[in-house]
Amino acid sequence: MIQKLGVVGAGQMGNGIAHVAALAGLDVVMVDVVPAQLEKALKSIEGNLARQVSRGKVSEDAKAAALKRLATAGTLAALGGSDLVIEAATENEAIKKKIFAELCPLLRPEALLATNTSSISITRLAAATDRPERFIGMHFFNPVPLMALVELIRGLATADATYAAIHALAGRLGKTPVTAQDYPAFIANRVLVPMINEAIYALYEGVGSIGSIDAALKLGANHPLGPLELADYIGLDTCLAVMQVMHEGFADSKYRPCPLLAKYVEAGWLGRKTGKGFYDYSGEKPTPTR
């Protein structure tokens, strides 16, 4: 049974994964190379747990117990005793491979390794580790405490026992697992991110303003968030990385990332996490940036 969980990367996904795992009774250590990210992650988790308490979803005792089960560290050495490590660092293959190269020698041979990648080949990442049979894709959705789905993606070498252990863990975390084959972007992002990219093309070509494009999809397709609002939620760097992986992985021009998306990323306007993307979040209400 998985009890000791390591989470690498304390960004918006890492902190969400740590939140639900600590609440489910696992002992969690979060690692990030940027100390400020660890502080920010702990603050977010505390704030999000407090909101759950105020809504009657979580008891005050459960919140306190969850916070006690959470620790942070600046180096991967703190993850040596883990039963499972979930990698949720920046969506960049070289960064992820470097983390696995450093992490694997520190882990017990029986420890499992999962990646929260949105799009990169699980088989290829697994091959960069010393344990492809104990490696799996465990793809959560943002914000993790609220979203029910987790996609489970087996690499070519993933063992049945690994899949079964991670499937059981998804249930313990209160998530509904859906199994996807290991093709670029899996299921949800394969459909969602090209839609977002198309919305950005519509903006780029002047078909509509940010407000009209989002209103059209909310009112016309009954989406709870417009595609540009959703892009800001996901992170524009992540959206661009997912499009690039599909563009290369399928070698199909229909996945060509919109140049305007690339421009926003070049500007460092990455969405909610940096305070500005298609909307500016510095005021009381988000306002469109074009």
Active site residues: 118, 139, 151, 189
For residue 91, state whether it binds ligand NAD (rule: CB under 6 A). Answer: yes
For residue 238, state whether it binds ligand NAD (rule: CB under 6 A). Answer: yes
For residue 89, state whether it binds ligand NAD (rule: CB under 6 A). Answer: yes
For residue 135, state whether it binds ligand NAD (rule: CB under 6 A). Answer: no
Closest to ligand NAD by CB, 28 or 99: 99
> DSSP letter string over the chain?
---EEEEE--SHHHHHHHHHHHHTT-EEEEE-SSHHHHHHHHHHHHHHHHHHHHTTSS-HHHHHHHHHTEEEESSGGGGTT-SEEEE---S-HHHHHHHHHHHGGGS-TT-EEEE--SSS-HHHHHHTSS-GGGEEEEEE-SSTTT--EEEEEE-TT--HHHHHHHHHHHHHTT-EEEEE-SSTTTTHHHHHHHHHHHHHHHHHTTSS-HHHHHHHHHHHS--SS-HHHHHHHH-HHHHHHHHHHHHHHHT-GGGPPPHHHHHHHHTT--BGGGTBSSEE-SSSS-EE--
For residue 99, state whether it binds ligand NAD (rule: CB under 6 A). Answer: yes
- We find the least distance from the C-beta atom of residue 32 to ligand NAD, in angstroms, to be 4
For residue 227, state whether it binds ligand NAD (rule: CB under 6 A). Answer: no
Binding-site member from 7, 13, 70, 138 for ligand NAD (CB under 6 A): 13
Binding-site member from 116, 129, 162, 197 for ligand NAD (CB under 6 A): 116
- We find the least distance from the C-beta atom of residue 133 to ligand NAD, in angstroms, to be 22
- We find the least distance from the C-beta atom of residue 162 to ligand NAD, in angstroms, to be 19
